[in-house]
Amino acid sequence: MASDEAEVLLFTDGACSGNPGPGGWAYILRHPGSGRESRESGCDPATTNNRMELVAAVRGLSQLKRRTRVELVTDSVYVGTGIAEWLPRWKQQGWKRKEGGRLVPIKNEDLWRELDRLVAAHDVRFTHVAGHAGHPENEACDRMAVAAYQPLLGRKPGGR
């Protein structure tokens, strides 16, 4: 395996019915060398699409038990740009971003902090794919994420 080749491929996606609304996340973690693959999905009754995209990446990377070369494949520009560009600046600014000339707290700070920790523990390369454009694993993750929140649709607040 060439030194720049990924040891594992992590495909992720998040979805929401409404934004905010019920949401789902999913990942497929594949080890091409052994052919092993794991998949997981989950949901949140009141969330945003961006949170679900982050949860998918965090949950997938959390499965790795040792330093690993990872190719993170997602349709989320939010996750990719955040990792590649925004995180270093946010950390320098105390986990804040500039808005209207002043520093304000970043959204989803809890998930960004965890993603930052996980990315630092591995060698992660981000690859963006177009959503709903026929990429087999991205489409599979999308189906899994949507299926995860489907049982939440139609529920009324207060458990009814």
Residues known to be catalytic: 13-14, 53, 75, 132, 142
Count of positions (residues) in the chain: 160
Residue 113: C-alpha distances to residues 86, 96, 108, 127 (Å): 12, 12, 9, 21
Q: Which two structure tokens, joined as six digits, stand for 89?
A: 């600046």
Encoded amino acid at 157, one letter: P
Residue 19: C-alpha distances to residues 106, 131, 148 (Å): 18, 17, 16
- The answer to whether 16 and 146 have CB atoms below 8 angstroms apart is no
Q: Which residues of 87-102 are buried (b: 16+ CB within 10 A; e: fewer)?
A: beebeeeeebeeeeee
- The answer to whether 149 and 43 have CB atoms below 8 angstroms apart is yes
